Amino acid sequence: MEKAVVWFSEGTKEQKALLGGKGANLAEMTNLGLPVPQGFIVPATICLTYLEEQVLPEAIIKQVKAAIEELAVRRNKTFGGLQSPLLVSVRSGAKFSMPGMMDTILNLGLNDETVQGLAQQTGDPVFAYDCYRRLIQMYGDVVKGVAKEHFEAYLTDYKKQQNYASDQMMTGNDWQMICRVFQSIYMEHTQEAFPQDPFQQLLAAITAVFRSWNNPRAKTYRSLHRIPDDLGTAVTIQEMVFGNSGINSGTGVAFTRNPATGEPGLFGEFLVCAQGEDVVAGIRTPQPIQALAQQHPMIYQELKQLAEGLEDHYQDMQDIEFTIDDGQLFVLQTRNGKRTAAAAAQIATDMVAEGRITIRQALDRITPEMIDQLLHPLFAPEALQQAKAFAQGLPASPGAASGHVYFTAEAAEKASRTGEKVLLLRQETSPEDIEGMVVSEAIITARGGMTSHAAVVARGLGVCCVVGCEALSVDVFLKQARCGELLIEEGDVLSVDGSTGKLYQGQLPMTSVQERVLLDQLLTWAQAQADLKVYANAETKNDIEAALAFGAAGIGLARTEHMFFGEARLWKMREVILAETKAERLAALAEIKAYQKADFKEMLQAAQGKKCTIRLLDPPLHEFLPHEHERLEMARRSQKSLAVIERRIDELQEVNPMMGHRGSRLGLSYPEIYEMQTAAICEAAVELRQQGVEVEAAILLPLISLPAELQVLKETLTQVIAQAEATLQQPLRIEIGMMIETPRACLIAGECAEDAAFFSFGTNDLTQMTFGFSRDDAGSFIQAYLQSGILQEDPYQHLDQAGVGTLMRQAIAGVRDRQPEHSIGVCGEVGSDPYSIAFLREIGIDYVSCSPYRIPAAWLAIAQSAPIIEEASVSTR
Amino acid sequence: MEKAVVWFSEGTKEQKALLGGKGANLAEMTNLGLPVPQGFIVPATICLTYLEEQVLPEAIIKQVKAAIEELAVRRNKTFGGLQSPLLVSVRSGAKFSMPGMMDTILNLGLNDETVQGLAQQTGDPVFAYDCYRRLIQMYGDVVKGVAKEHFEAYLTDYKKQQNYASDQMMTGNDWQMICRVFQSIYMEHTQEAFPQDPFQQLLAAITAVFRSWNNPRAKTYRSLHRIPDDLGTAVTIQEMVFGNSGINSGTGVAFTRNPATGEPGLFGEFLVCAQGEDVVAGIRTPQPIQALAQQHPMIYQELKQLAEGLEDHYQDMQDIEFTIDDGQLFVLQTRNGKRTAAAAAQIATDMVAEGRITIRQALDRITPEMIDQLLHPLFAPEALQQAKAFAQGLPASPGAASGHVYFTAEAAEKASRTGEKVLLLRQETSPEDIEGMVVSEAIITARGGMTSHAAVVARGLGVCCVVGCEALSVDVFLKQARCGELLIEEGDVLSVDGSTGKLYQGQLPMTSVQERVLLDQLLTWAQAQADLKVYANAETKNDIEAALAFGAAGIGLARTEHMFFGEARLWKMREVILAETKAERLAALAEIKAYQKADFKEMLQAAQGKKCTIRLLDPPLHEFLPHEHERLEMARRSQKSLAVIERRIDELQEVNPMMGHRGSRLGLSYPEIYEMQTAAICEAAVELRQQGVEVEAAILLPLISLPAELQVLKETLTQVIAQAEATLQQPLRIEIGMMIETPRACLIAGECAEDAAFFSFGTNDLTQMTFGFSRDDAGSFIQAYLQSGILQEDPYQHLDQAGVGTLMRQAIAGVRDRQPEHSIGVCGEVGSDPYSIAFLREIGIDYVSCSPYRIPAAWLAIAQSAPIIEEASVSTR
């Protein structure tokens, strides 16, 4: 016979699929000997039977009937009787919690008779009839679909007529009247009387829960979250206890440690003579849990011991719901408590110190989002609750900031010099905005995706950033932006939440930046557990120093293009591009070389002897070209005619610059540029060594698609290095590696294994070309795809395993086949994505490289996904 | 002992690797009993020995010495003797003919003594000393590297001093004098005397040939053509015969059939008393070969029989070099004769008729270029020789045309209406130029590559086209173009050669278009042999008719975007795009639907019941947007404000449109568009069937990268089809297939096999994304890559097997794994590329689809690469 009833005492917390999360938890607590109101569960298997047969088989009904009667007997009550009537709650509970499922029904078992019994027993008709009207309302709503509003509207009218300011003023008679009216409202909408048979109530509630498994909202939710449809839901039936049955009663929530700070010791609040709903309703202000120690020291002690026991049992900070029914303590729920990042870090480290959990367990309790929160300032949660965002874009770089808004990099920079806190708001940013971006507290763009220029630079800078905020329309000329009716003018104060993508007017208060001590402890642990290395994408002194402070193993990607965008350099670079003879070009490059050498010295010095991988110039040349209004100036500087300048600019325009004349293609067309960069690296390295500074430089060639591209460039650069070595009479040991950024590079990586000393996947470009999704343009339809479920995940945030991942796997196999020891890394955005790291390990990546402020999360994710290693200190329980 | 000498009588034509092409051929002819001057070959193996040991081993020298003495004995001459001195030619000869290798040395064996013997024997000192001075000069040049100019300069001076107008006026004494001076020139440059020992001459010449195998030019050539370095070259040593030894002597060239027309019968020309060089020098005008019949009927008969024998033997038209030495006929060389396309077709079909060769052999003798020539008019070869091109671009579509140049599509169209022949010259073309392109004799662009818009459309139209002619700078406003100093103005007459990419001023005379009869015969044969099908990329009535005339198995790709570019439709399409509500969009689409339906009816009718695969709208929406000057008009037509129009245009701009919001991505964002197109196809199909017209329509979804894109669109379109079927009460049997155009599509093709009814590779887009080479922009660096050898082949012309091919292989494996019977085709440019077809067959492609004028070449290439099938009619010899 199918088992239709599982008593709490028969289950364990592992049986979530059968008993639902809620039921399994109640079972566990019951077996721990905790004071849990008794009850039983109709398991999820019965749901499937019901859904298939469309009726509840007699055999099952019999078991449920026997169970509810058994419960009444155990509790010395009667179900549907006048004497000590047994009331129960009925709740749904699936393996995964799921919005859209049926809600709770409380007080089931009341009818026109038993309510009188309850009133007599408690001596409190207000309480009894309030319970009854709640049952009618909840049952009508969740079992029969009679909208709550029909009941609420009447109640509101009634109180108005009686001049009652609140429910507190309702008398027993009032509630009794309300019960009658509610029953007629119920009848009006259902064409049947409110059921007086408690067992009929119970069966209807159970089948309503079962049916709700297939309601459209639940189905959509499952489909979106890939939860199987054939799990079904369980139903938990539990005796009611009442925190609102007098001054010896109450209800509350207790945390075993402070969820905001992690401080040990019971933390929470309670309300005397109240039910759970009252706490949520916020009508009365709860008391801190310590007040219970004064008012009911015995109960407080009992609660404290119980809480400690639960924390011991679950080995984590618990969030406990309790009710005191006429001096008797009951636990209704316990779960791992939600906590702030600071608390999480504190609790995890404390619990390791207390010998409760292993270091690995401690790390497993920290989420990447928590790391972000530990790193970045946030808006105060209270302030956020009250504030209303006027727009929302993509959360491109976490943190929070307020400041005065400016619409050009120049204006932002100028304002910042006066000490003003500035925000930069642009249609989209370009490399020339860099100086304005550096001084801004936050960067906002109306266009662009998570890997747009603004997003990438902001993450690099650790600056909060919101991109693709399409509701904004920016007018640089008028120095204003519109967002619907809202007009934003230069200097206006805005607040930007880079973790949610929300924008607010005015200044919001902040929480303070968390102490770095805990973070450093966690980082140290994570690094010890990590089996992949984390390198940094960084090129400025500040970034490199930040990266090393976060434990970067070296610099995996130092881009050189940003270095060309300073005012003086940019004009020189333009001369390089516009040069008509090699002599002209070499002359301009010679001047740039001096800058580059200084840059490389600073970079290599900051890297403190760790490997510093410098990628040669990558972007299309036209990114460096003078704008419309700069052409005359360009003509003047280069002593060329305007016509020549314009012709050359025209020639360099490209239809699809991302797949155009860039990367190593440039290096092959203009060998002088890469030769200059390589020579500058060599000279910088030698000069530093002469000063006693340790240096390990490596060169990375971007956008290789053909083995011959690599071979030709390698030969050229090796000659430059050899020349430098000869001139400087020093071995330089500069390795040359290649980026794998195009699908073809993946397919021919093996062929390149002899020539490239190491490899680095550029997953952004690779994703772009594998899908044919332009990073700059795909924002709009990728969002639509995510919403409609065509895409489950943004491939620029989480590595696309089926597509890009397959190509990467092929590339790695090709390389390992010939050169098993070659180092292979990932320097794209997904390299630091916790959800991608297990896959990257599986396919054989040696290291990831990411922007400095993502390094801690990357270490953590690697540690969390690493195979568990034996530890000296293990859990004591 | 290593065999160092192979007599002509010991070899065969198959031994090219050992004996070199020339030597093997002479051996073959010798064994056929033809009058070949006797000789022997030092085989290529000896070359390798020499190159390794750096000297010629004694054993080898002995064999050569014995052989030359044996030759003298056989010919009753003496080598180095005064009586009947034996003179020989020494020639290099490798398996593959190779520029940069050592040239011929004639008359070897002469010295200060033997020259007197020769003068006596022939009674012609002029001849004898002329031979001697030639030896000194050639030997000096090719063995010792003394530049020819040193000798020539002196000879020129000498003649000037003597007031000789030409060599004919030189006397024996003059040449004797010259020989002395040449010897001193030789000595001056080599610090040694001209060798008087003929055997020393011979050994030096042989080793010089061997060394030339490794000269830089030969090495580069081998590297470029992937010829192995370890083949070596043979040396042919052959007795001299002299066509210049009197009026009973002569030299000439004979073809066994007319190389221009293919007409049977001996064809060629000869010169009395002349050596081969004199024919080439062009000093005297040769006589037609038929004159020989009058002058030397016996020799003519002998030559005729000999020629017939050679054609019989080689089973192909022969190009024969002969010399008559004092009434005796010698054959010096025979080879398959070069021929025009028309001759090739004529000869091949004739030879099948004559039972000499199989149909497959006939097909194998036709090159794809010949097919192009048969299809397209050409400039007369004489005219081309004299004309000087002023610029050269990429030969994007073959054929030749002259006409008046115009710089806008409108101007071209207007001029064409007056009956003028027009050429369209643009910076680059866009879809809006289509009406001007259709009326043009030829299209020229200054920018763009072989797969640019202009190139693709021109090939589709079968119109001659030159693209990427970067020397041109076009000024549409001034209606002129510049090319260096040359100014081209509207209306100027130019001539365009689409087969070479060259541009000429003025009008060049044309050859006539070849008869289609031969082509049709070849096509019929090719189709019978072909094991893959050829479909057409075509959408207009004209194109479809042309395609069917070339034997297309159906329409593999009918693009729908061209249909939106007509004047009235374009404005409507713009309304669709600019619509702010779905209702507005549907209203505009309803009008477009009427056009589309008419288009589809015309298309399906023209396809005559063959499968017609219609690809739904593909390009980015912004391609349809109004230009700067059309925005006001747009505002007026759509009754929107200019600001709204401009905002929407801004929104639709993309940085990398090729990887942007296009293809199925559009179909998902604007489902109304694909629904409209599908409904139009359904209605067109039904109406035609009601008229008794057979129809087989299929739908192709562009740019799929995710299985869900396909699934969602398929579901939507299947509903539209089902609705149409219900309304029209007819089954429509419209299959839905998908394009494989992105690397990711290759990787997930297997997952799509249940949902897509068929697949079509878009190799242009696939190549673009696999390399990251934007088709629009890569022209410049791809050219540079080809020149520097980084790329061996343009991947847009010949499929990139290592990259794109690998992905295609994976895709096909994925599909076949689940749906072995699904049809998989290629509709990119490389589908019709002869060099790619064997690979496409190997990876399992079922069909290729190409523009109509490439269909014949595609059929041919498929037939040529197909496994040979048994034929009823086989070669008779």
In which residue ranges of chain A is pLDDT below 50?
Answer: 872-877
Phi/psi for B124 (5° steps) reads -140, 85
| Record: contact B660-A791, CB cut-off 8 A | no
Catalytic residue among A682, A752, A827, A850: A827
Q: Are residues A472 and A383 in the same domain?
A: yes
Partners of A655 on chain B (C-beta within 8 Å) are 657-658, 774, 776-777
* Domain assignment of residue A735, yes or no: no
Phi/psi for A391 (5° steps) reads -160, 160
Give the Cα separation of B151 and B133 in Å (integer): 9
CA atoms within 13 A of residue B124's CA, in its CB half-sphere? 13
Q: Are residues A256 and A219 in the same domain?
A: no
Take residue A863 and report the two structure tokens written for it.
Answer: 């540690």
Query: How buried is residue A256: exposed, middle or buried, by Cβ count under 10 Å (0-12/13-18/19+)?
Result: buried
**Stretch 648-667 of chain A: residues touching chain B, C-beta under 8 Å:** 654-661, 665
Partners of B776 on chain A (C-beta within 8 Å) are 654-656
| Record: contact A781-B668, CB cut-off 8 A | yes
Take residue B442 and report the two structure tokens written for it.
Answer: 């030829």
Q: Are residues B139 and B47 in the same domain?
A: yes
H helices of A315-387, where? 341-353, 359-364, 368-375, 381-386
Give the Cα separation of A450 and A749 in Å (integer): 28
pLDDT in tens, B741-779: 999 999 999 999 999 999 999 999 999 999 999 988 887
pLDDT in tens, A201-227: 999 999 999 998 988 888 877 876 778
Neighbour count for residue B820 (Cβ, 10 Å): 9
| Record: contact B655-A774, CB cut-off 8 A | yes
- Identity of residue A581: T
3-state secondary structure of A79: coil
Q: What is the CATH number of the domain that holds B408?
A: 3.50.30.10
| Record: contact A768-B659, CB cut-off 8 A | yes
Q: Whose CA is closest to B173, among B158, B157, B151?
A: B158
Partners of B784 on chain A (C-beta within 8 Å) are 668-669
Take residue A297 and report the two structure tokens written for it.
Answer: 């020291």
3-state SS, B759-813, equals EEECHHHHHHHHHCCCCCCCHHHHHHHHHHCCCCCCCCCCCCHHHHHHHHHHHHH
| Record: contact B654-A776, CB cut-off 8 A | yes
Closest Cβ opposite residue A807 in set B654, B743, B751: B743
* Domain assignment of residue A406, yes or no: yes
> What residues of B are labeled active site?
453, 827
| Conformation bin of residue B759: beta by default, left when phi > 0, alpha when psi is -120 to 50 | beta
Cα distances (Å, whole numbers) of residue B811 to A711, A765, B664, B768: 30, 22, 19, 17
CA atoms within 13 A of residue B110's CA, in its CB half-sphere? 26
| Conformation bin of residue B266: beta by default, left when phi > 0, alpha when psi is -120 to 50 | beta
Shortest Cα distance, chain A CAs vs residue B656, angstroms: 4
Question: Are B481 and B809 contacting, i.e. CB atoms less than 8 angstroms apart?
Answer: no
| Most B-contacting residue of A658, A752, A790 (CB-CB within 10 A), to test interface | A790
Shortest Cα distance, chain B CAs vs residue A286, angstroms: 51
* Domain assignment of residue A660, yes or no: no
Query: How buried is residue B33: exposed, middle or buried, by Cβ count under 10 Å (0-12/13-18/19+)?
Result: exposed
Closest Cβ opposite residue B769 in set A668, A751, A772: A772
Q: Which helix (H) or strand (E) holds A277?
A: helix A276-281
3-state secondary structure of A550: coil
Q: Are residues B448 and B331 in the same domain?
A: no
In which residue ranges of chain B is pLDDT below 70?
Answer: 1, 99-100, 224, 276-284, 451, 512-515, 869-877
Closest Cβ opposite residue B748 in set A778, A785, A802: A802
- Identity of residue B570: L
Q: Is A778 in the B-facing interface, judged by CB distances under 8 Å?
A: yes
| Most A-contacting residue of B427, B652, B659, B766 (CB-CB within 10 A), to test interface | B659
* Domain assignment of residue A479, yes or no: yes
Q: Is A96 in the B-facing interface, judged by CB distances under 8 Å?
A: no
3-state secondary structure of B11: coil
Partners of A712 on chain B (C-beta within 8 Å) are 788, 790
Give the Cα separation of B454 and B74 in Å (integer): 67
In this prediction the ipTM stands at 0.77
- Predicted local confidence at residue A792, as pLDDT: 86
Q: Is B224 in the A-facing interface, judged by CB distances under 8 Å?
A: no
Question: Are A760 and A827 contacting, i.e. CB atoms less than 8 angstroms apart?
Answer: yes
| Max CA pair span of chain A | 106
How far does chain A reach from its first CA to its final CA, in angstroms? 39
- Predicted local confidence at residue A175, as pLDDT: 94
| Most A-contacting residue of B654, B655, B764 (CB-CB within 10 A), to test interface | B655
Q: Are residues B273 and B316 in the same domain?
A: yes
* Domain assignment of residue A635, yes or no: no
Question: Are A416 and A440 contacting, i.e. CB atoms less than 8 angstroms apart?
Answer: yes
E strand spans, A685-777: 696-701, 735-740, 758-761
Question: Are B12 and B314 contacting, i.e. CB atoms less than 8 angstroms apart?
Answer: no
Give the Cα separation of B821 and B759 in Å (integer): 11
Q: Whose CA is closest to A334, among A406, A235, A399, A256?
A: A256
Can you give the residue range of the structural domain that contains B485?
376-511
Closest Cβ opposite residue A742 in set B654, B665, B770: B770
Question: End of a domain among A511, A526, A546?
Answer: A511
Q: Is A802 in the B-facing interface, judged by CB distances under 8 Å?
A: yes
Shortest Cα distance, chain B CAs vs residue A468, angstroms: 12
What percent helix, strand, coil does chain A show, rounded to 5? 50, 15, 35
* Domain assignment of residue A778, yes or no: no
- Predicted local confidence at residue A100, as pLDDT: 65
What does the angle CA B153 – CA B156 – CA B157 come to, to the nearest 5 degrees?
Answer: 85
| Record: contact B777-A654, CB cut-off 8 A | yes
- Predicted local confidence at residue B628, as pLDDT: 85
Name the residue of chain A whose CA is nearest to B468's CA.
A651
| Record: contact A774-B660, CB cut-off 8 A | yes
3-state secondary structure of B294: helix
Q: Is A755 in the B-facing interface, judged by CB distances under 8 Å?
A: no
| Record: contact A657-B657, CB cut-off 8 A | no
Give the Cα separation of A525 and A859 in Å (integer): 9
- Cβ-based neighbours of A867, under 8 Å, separated by 6 or more: A531
Question: End of a domain among B511, B546, B570?
Answer: B511
Query: How buried is residue B264: exposed, middle or buried, by Cβ count under 10 Å (0-12/13-18/19+)?
Result: middle
Shortest Cα distance, chain B CAs vs residue A747, angstroms: 6
H helices of A100-171, where? 114-122, 125-142, 148-161
Give the Cα separation of B463 and A652 in Å (integer): 29
Shortest Cα distance, chain B CAs vs residue A874, angstroms: 45
Partners of A770 on chain B (C-beta within 8 Å) are 705, 742-744, 747, 769
- Structural domains in chain B (count): 3
Question: Are B235 and B93 contacting, i.e. CB atoms less than 8 angstroms apart?
Answer: yes
Catalytic residue among A296, A376, A404, A453: A453
Q: Are residues B97 and B205 in the same domain?
A: yes
Give the Cα separation of A467 and B197 in Å (integer): 88
> How does DSSP assign A39-69, residue by residue?
EEEE-HHHHHHHHHHSS--HHHHHHHHHHHH
Name the residue of chain A whose CA is nearest to B782's CA.
A665
Q: Is B784 in the A-facing interface, judged by CB distances under 8 Å?
A: yes
Neighbour count for residue A730 (Cβ, 10 Å): 14
* Domain assignment of residue A137, yes or no: yes
- Predicted local confidence at residue B283, as pLDDT: 56
Give the Cα separation of A586 and A576 in Å (integer): 8
Q: Are residues B96 and B216 in the same domain?
A: yes
Give the Cα separation of B619 and B762 in Å (integer): 14
Q: Are residues B36 and B165 in the same domain?
A: yes
Q: Are residues B235 and B265 in the same domain?
A: no
Partners of A765 on chain B (C-beta within 8 Å) are 772
* Domain assignment of residue A543, yes or no: no
Question: Are B622 and B657 contacting, i.e. CB atoms less than 8 angstroms apart?
Answer: yes
Q: Are residues B301 and B225 in the same domain?
A: no
Could you tell me which residues are beta bridge partners of residue B257? B264
Give the Cα separation of B599 and B539 in Å (integer): 9
Shortest Cα distance, chain B CAs vs residue A244, angstroms: 53
Take residue A249 and report the two structure tokens written for it.
Answer: 């009663």
Q: Are residues B232 and B329 in the same domain?
A: no
Torsion of CA B623, B624, B628, B632, to 10 degrees: -160
Partners of B781 on chain A (C-beta within 8 Å) are 661, 665, 668-669
Tokens 């390389």 found at? A815
Give the Cα separation of B392 and B496 in Å (integer): 10
- Identity of residue A21: G
Name the residue of chain A whose CA is nearest to B786's CA.
A708
Q: Are residues B407 and B327 in the same domain?
A: no
H helices of B418-566, where? 434-438, 453-461, 516-529, 541-549
Question: End of a domain among A239, A259, A293?
Answer: A239
Q: What is the CATH number of the domain that holds B310?
A: 3.30.470.20
What single-letter DSSP state applies at residue A805? I
3-state secondary structure of A614: strand
Neighbour count for residue A193 (Cβ, 10 Å): 10
Q: What is the CATH number of the domain that holds B137?
A: 3.30.1490.20
